[in-house]
Structure 1
Amino acid sequence: MGEEIDKGATETRRVTRLIRLPEVQHRVGLGRSTIYRWMSEGKFPRPVQLGGYSVAWAESEIDGWVADRITHST
């Protein structure tokens, strides 16, 4: 009599990596003020609050934003 395997336990989990502003700037090629201005205009992903004044962006959202720019520029 075999044991049943929980399918949820065998599926690959995707971990959300959070990246800080210097890495975001490097990846998108924009300065801090442009990033924050575009965020206020709804043109750039908003960060998540880590506590106090610390924020970070979901890597997948930044990657998606960059990919969207590449797709729409061609």
Structure 2
Amino acid sequence: MNDNLQLLSLNDAARMTSLSRSMLNRYRSEGRFPRAVPLGEKRVAFVAAEVRAWIAEKIAGRAA
């Protein structure tokens, strides 16, 4: 499946990034994490490619 069309749940995004759900939500509120795709009144998801790009940015930004 195309990564741009794959969605990750909040739990999946938290597992993928090794962040807790509360930290991930804090990053979201601060604009430091990819924007969520609203799926319903209380349900959001994240574009897998954007989460992977965020992870790659964190890896690239570490000190050598």
Q: Which bin holds the TM-score, normalised by the shorter protein? A: 0.7 to 0.9
TM-score normalised by L of structure 1? 0.76
1:12-62 CA-to-partner distances (Å, cap 9, x unmatched) read: xx4510010111111100001111111111111121001121100000000
Greater Rg by CA: 1
Percent of residue pairs identical: 34
Q: Normalised by the size of structure 2, how large is the TM-score?
A: 0.86
Alignment of 1:64 onto 2:50: no
Map of 1:30 onto structure 2: 19
SS in 2 for 1:61: helix
Runs of 4+ with deviation above 6 angstroms: none
Counterpart in 2 of 1:52?
Answer: 41
Q: Secondary structure at the match of 1:51?
A: coil
Aligned residues: 62
Whole-angstrom CA distance in 2 between matches of 1:36 and 1:56: 12
Structure 1 residues without counterparts, runs of 5 or longer: 1-13
| Stretches of structure 2 lacking an aligned partner (at least 5 in a row) | none
